Structures are given as C-alpha cells and as structure tokens.
Amino acid sequence: MASPRFFFCFVFLILAATLAAKDYALFFAVNDYDRMTNLRNPIQNAREIAKELRDKYGFRTEVVENPTLVTIEEKLAEYKAKFASGAFDQKGQLLIFFTGHGTMRGRNGYFMPRDVDPSIVHRTGLEYDYWRDEINGFACQHILVTVDACHSATFDPDFGKNGRDFSRKGDNTKDQILLDHQAYRARLFITSDAQGNETPDNSTLARKFLLALRSHRSQTGYLTHDVLLGTYLKQASPIPGGGEFGGDESASRFLFFRKNTGPSIDLQDQRAWDFARQQKSMAAYQYYLNSFPNGHYRGAARTALDKIPTAPAPTRTGTKIPDFLVFIPGGTFRMGDTVEDEMGEDDEKPVHTVALSDFYLARTEVSVAEFATFVDATRYVTEAERDGGSYKWTGGKWEKQPGTNWRYGPFFKERPESDYNHPVIHVSWNDAVRYCNWLSREHGLQEVYTLVGDEVTPDWGANGYRLPTEAEWEYAARSGGRDHLYAWGTGEPNGNVADESGNWSEGSVIFTGYNDGYHGTSPVGKFPQGNYGLADMTGNVNEWCWDWYASGYYGKSPGSNPRGPSTGTYRVIRGGSWGSSPQGCRTANRFSNGPSNRSNSVGFRLARSSK
C-alpha cells in the first residue's frame, strides 16, 4: 500500500488540478501581408487581449506578430512538445488565438500567414482540418481555439451541417462548474462568424472578447467560455459561432479565473481561499493552510477550523488518512434507475431518496500485489484454494476451473509478476472481509468485522477498513448521485469493458466502435472516471459490497445510510467488469452471488468511515 499522509481527498483533486494549474495563451496576429491587402487591427487586438489575460487573469501569454507559415507551424510544434515533456502544465489551459485574413476552398478553411500565396493557398495557408487534429493531440487538459478571420466557421469540423448548441448542459452551480472543469477534457473553439462569411478588419469579436475580460464580474471569480460566447460575443457582428472538436468531453469547461486586484494576494492563494469558503469544510480549510501557510487568509482559515467540531482522534496510526483513499463528501441522492432507460431492471426500483454520511473510498480496486502481501503476512488460504478452484460463466452456468485461485488471471492462467498491478480476482466476499480486518490491524485501526464461523457482524462505529455499502458505491460511482448512466458519465466510454478488443462469442453485446486496449483485466487505476478521482468504478472487475441482496429491498430501504437486509443468501456486486455489456456496466445495475463464491470477473475495493 502507498504510505499514508494527512490529506488526500475530493477537495485536493479539484484544487490541485483546477486552482493550481497554469494557463497559457498563444496569439498569431497578422497585419502585413506579402501578397494580400494589409490589415490594421489584428496585432493591436492581440496585444490588448494578451495584456488583459496576463495582468488580470494570470495567463502566460505570447503574441507572434506577422508570422510566416513556417513560424506558425514551428511555434505550435514547440508548444506541443512543451506540454508533452511536462515543461508546460498538462492540467492547465491553453488559448490559441488566430487573427488576420482567412479564406476557404470548397469546404476547407485556411488561416492566412504573412507569406501566403492566395493562388496556392492549399500549400501556403494554415489548413484548419490538419491543425485541428494536431491541436487536439496536445497533452493539455483544456484548449480553446479562437479564430478571428474571414470564413472562420470552416474551423468547425461540422461546418455546413445543422447548427450546434454551444451551451453546456447540466448543473451550472459554481461548485459543479469547478468539478466539470477538473473532470473533463476540453477541446473548444470560437469563430468570428458562424456561417463561413467574411469578417471585417475592425473585428467586433475582438472588441467584445476584450469587453468580457475587462467588465465581467461574478461571485465565482471566473468567466466561463460559454458565458463569454453566449453573453458577450453574441453581440458581435457577424454573430460568432462555437462548439467542440476532437476529443472534447461532454460538460467540459474553459474558465478564465480573474486575479485579485489587491497587490498582496497571490492568484492561487485567492482561488484556494474562495474555494474553501464555498465548501466550508474542514478538508478545504486545511488544504488552504497546508498549501499557503503564510497565505493572506491564514487567520480566517484557522478561525473557521476552530469552529468546526472534530471527532476524537483514533488510536495508534489512525489519525492519518492513507493517500490511496479518496474523501467522498456525504449528501442526499436518488438511488436506483434514475435514467429510466430501456435497460433498467425491476430490482433497481423504486427510485428512492437516500442520505449518506461522509466516507472514504479507495481510488482503485485492491491489486494482486496488495493481496499477495496479505497472504504472505498471514498465510491465509482463500476459498478458491480450499475448495479446489474458481469459476467462469459459460453462458448457461458457472463452471469450476480446477486449481485456479487469486494468483490467476481472467483466462485461468497463472499471472506473471508483471501483472500483479492488476486487480485481484478469484476471491470471495469472505476473503475480502478478512483482508479488510488484516489491513485495519496493520494500520492500527479498529477492525470493523467480527468473524465467528460463517457469521460476520459489522461494527459501524469502528474506524477500520471495510467494504462499501451498496448505497455508498452507487453514490460515489455517480459522482455524488448525479444521473450518470456509467461512472464516466453519459458520453463516450472510458473504461475496461466488453468492446472491440475482445474475441467475443457470436451474439455478445458489446460497446461497439470502442476499443479500450485490454481483453481481460487492466492495471488498477488505468481508467479514471467521474469527479472524485476514482478509477474503474465502471469496468475492469465487478466489486463486492457489504449488503445482503434482496430484489425488493429498494421498496423498504431506510432513508439514511442504508446497509441492506439483515440476512440473506447472496451479497451485492456492483460495477461491471472487463467482460460486461453496456447493460451490466450501468451504475444502477445490481448483481449478486453467494459470499463464498468467486470468479474471474469479481474483485473488491476498500471503504472507511470518516469518523
């Protein structure tokens, strides 16, 4: 296991990626042309916008004036290399702004560098179709391309099709916008016209862009790209267009964070304090003090912390939270088939309101290497070893594979040590709870489970490791109970699931048109999903939960911290695996199996109460 440290949680994930990330702006502005009519305004517009971004929003800016085609291509290649090498912050934002002449040939669009030859623009102009794909490949989380030039709408990969809606769907609260910004990759663009027409030299897009940067004020401290386009730029003439390209993810954001105008307050200091005030939690205030021990608001942060009651410190090493755990802030959500699609099952209904307390959840599933440490330390013998093997589903029944156990992979071959970073499988529910108790002892925590024969009794007040409840698992997989069909949301797949990479039997239902690169399990943490920084909540392996399974339990579930029926025959399994169809991967989908059963598609991850 990774070494413990004081704080690694939901607030850190947002702040580390959103508040501390660096922002960049690269301008290409052409006034003087070798073979075309000169312009008067692009360079001045670029200088003014760059200055505003640098002075008021903390961007690192660069204006390339009157560049040739080679200059533009070399500069873009330079930025791409800097992001790839880590010289530029890959979690940051990049604005690329083109301003000058533009043209189109057929449906292809071109930005015109200084040395363009209009008679052979296909060879001497900057072709959008080519560079759109190149820019998409930059190792930068958030990219916004703005083209202020004639026929700029040709930058749109859907140019000529029906108009698009550039607004972002879903929850637009300030906290959700920050979560979306941290979670989703942005590939966005703004063009000075939406129809492929000419743009005047005295561009109104540039004036409105500058107006937005200078005049926009909000309690959040940032200007969103959709407000920029929908509130300010829509007043320009011609009316600008916008949308997404390449690998943009649904709900992505590009944010302009305004610096505090006070000379003594650092930009990151101000952002961290603003976020702490929004969250009003111990974790957020503590993060601020850890990050800015001499920060402008350190006194206010300490005062706020003193007012928050704290639980008694656990014994021994239990005062610290290991960094493999993610803090999941409690809340109220609607549990069950909230999407109400045709794939919903009867045991996912009725949808019911559940309130959960704060808890911690492991970022990844328990790996083979971690389970091996447990076995080496305790000489524990798993149920697969005691009972002569594990099981696979043959399409009609579960079939035992003799001699297989936790050391084996999904296709019942013994794993090489190089695969010990994959999730452990062929382990039963009973094996999992014994691992939980062992790790609690190792970390000086109270054991959650009392084991007497086949009876397992939980102590919910204990501070040790345990399996998540079914409600906790679904709440976390849906990023705080949002209506997400899968843990990655509702967009393109991002998980190790049944897809084009496998040799599936005829009639198998898979995620068509998607290839995750693995037929079988993948290393733990390979597919981050959702807003909490968890990985593989959908896919890789199914996961044991604490609860006994009952198909009608949702109709009588308590409204606060439900933990399933008091008795039963089967335990709940959640999440879908490397071999699961779209049906089986849904966040609302419920599986079950006996607590002594084990298979090539089921593993587990750890949870821990926040007390």
Distance CA 126, CA 135 (A): 13
Distance CA 440, CA 462 (A): 10
pLDDT per position as a tens digit, 217-273 = 765 678 888 889 888 888 888 889 898 999 988 778 899 988 753 333 555 566 667
46 Rama class: left (phi>0) / alpha (psi -120 to 50) / beta: alpha
Give the CA distances from residue 322 to residues 44, 578, 607, in Å, rounded to whole numbers and listed in that order: 52, 28, 12
The pLDDT score that the predictor gives to residue 4 is 31
Domains (ranges, CATH) in the chain? 21-257 (3.40.50.1460), 332-609 (3.90.1580.10)
Task: Give the count of beta carbons closer than 10 Å to the beta carbon of residue 425.
Answer: 31
The pLDDT score that the predictor gives to residue 310 is 41
pLDDT per position as a tens digit, 133-157 = 999 999 999 999 999 999 999 999 8
3-state DSSP: the chain helix, strand, coil percent, rounded to 5?
30, 20, 50
Distance CA 205, CA 224 (A): 16
Average model confidence (pLDDT) across the chain? 86
Distance CA 539, CA 125 (A): 45
**Amino acid letter for position 382:** T
pLDDT per position as a tens digit, 570-598 = 999 999 999 999 999 999 999 999 999 99
Cis upstream peptide for 238 (omega within 30°): yes
Query: How, if at all, do strands 255-257 and 325-328 pair?
Result: unpaired
Distance CA 270, CA 266 (A): 6
Distance CA 411, CA 413 (A): 6
Secondary structure letter of residue 415 according to DSSP = P
**Cβ–Cβ < 8 Å for 387, 599:** no
Residue 153: what are its φ and ψ, rounded to 5°? -60, -20
To the question of pTM greater than 0.75 for the whole model, the response is: no
Give the CA distances from residue 17 to residues 90, 141, 535, 576, in Å, rounded to whole numbers and listed in that order: 9, 10, 16, 28
Which residues lie below 8 Å from residue 125, measured CB to CB, with a gap of 6+? 69, 103, 110, 111, 112, 113, 116
First CA to last CA distance, the chain: 21
